[in-house]
Amino acid sequence: MVDKAEKQGLDPIPDPIPDYGELMTIERFKACSASGGFLDGDGTGYLATKDGYDTGQPISPSVILREGIVYAWATHVMWFNQ
Summarised one tens digit per residue, pLDDT across range 62-72 is: 999 998 877 88
Rounded Cα distance between 79 and 22, Å, is 5
pTM of the model: 0.82
Q: Which of 32, 42, 43, 41 is nearest to 65 (CA)?
A: 32
Cβ(44)–Cβ(4) under 8 Å? no
Q: Give 6-56 pLDDT, tens digit per residue.
A: 434 455 667 999 999 999 999 999 999 999 999 999 999 999 999 999 998
Core vs surface per residue 4-34: b (16+ CB within 10 A) or e: ebeeeeeebebeebeeebebbebeebbebbe
